[in-house]
Amino acid sequence: MARTLILALLLMACATHAPLKGVLAGSEGKMGFVDADGGHWDLVLTGDARALEVLGGCGVELEGLKVGKRLTVVDWRVTAAPDGSAPFIGPLRRHGSNLVLEDRTTNGLLVLEAKSSAEMATAVGDMVMVMGFVVGPHVVRVVAWSVLLENENSP
C-alpha cells in the first residue's frame, strides 16, 4: 500500500504544471520536441495527441507526464503553424449548409468560408488544421488546410 502511494505521488510530481513551450521536430519516424531551453524530449502520443505526428516544425505548448527525457502528452495546443500564423485546429463538422470547426484553442465553433468547401466536406469528422483569417464574428476565411487525424469511423 505504501509503495503504491509513493509511486502515485512520484508520478504526480512528474506531471508538468505549466505547459512546455517549444517546437515539434521529427526524427527517424518518431516525433520529438525541443523546448524553449533547448531540451530534447521523446514524445508519447495517444488519443487526439496523435495529431502532433504530422505537425513537425510547428510551435506548440505541451502538458503531460515527464519521465526522464520522455513526455507523455496529456494536453496540447499549437501556437504557430509552419508559416508562422496561429492556426485553428479541431474536428470538422457540418452545421446545416456550413462547415464548422470545433476549435481546440477557443473551445468555440468557427464557420469556415472556403473556396474548396466541396473538397473540405470530404474531411467532415476528421481533425483538421486550418490556416486563414477572421472575416467576421466566428467566421474564418480558409487560406490552407490539412487533415491531421482521420476519424476512425469515417468511410
Per-10-residue mean pLDDT of the chain, 155 residues long, equals 55 63 81 92 93 93 93 94 92 93 91 85 95 93 94 60
Give the residue range(s) of CATH 2.40.50.430 domains in the chain: 88-149
Residue 48 burial class via C-beta count within 10 angstroms: exposed 0-12, middle 13-18, buried 19 and up: middle
Give CA–CA dist 84/51, Å, rounded. 18
Give CA–CA dist 67/65, Å, rounded. 7
pLDDT of res. 115: 80
Strand partners, 83: none
pLDDT of res. 17: 57
Half-sphere exposure of 91 (CA within 13 A, CB side): 10
Give the residue range(s) of CATH 2.40.50.140 domains in the chain: 2-80
Architecture of domain 88-149: Beta Barrel (2.40)
pLDDT of res. 155: 47
pLDDT of res. 92: 96
Architecture of domain 2-80: Beta Barrel (2.40)
Q: Which of 75, 71, 123, 70 is nearest to 101 (CA)?
A: 123
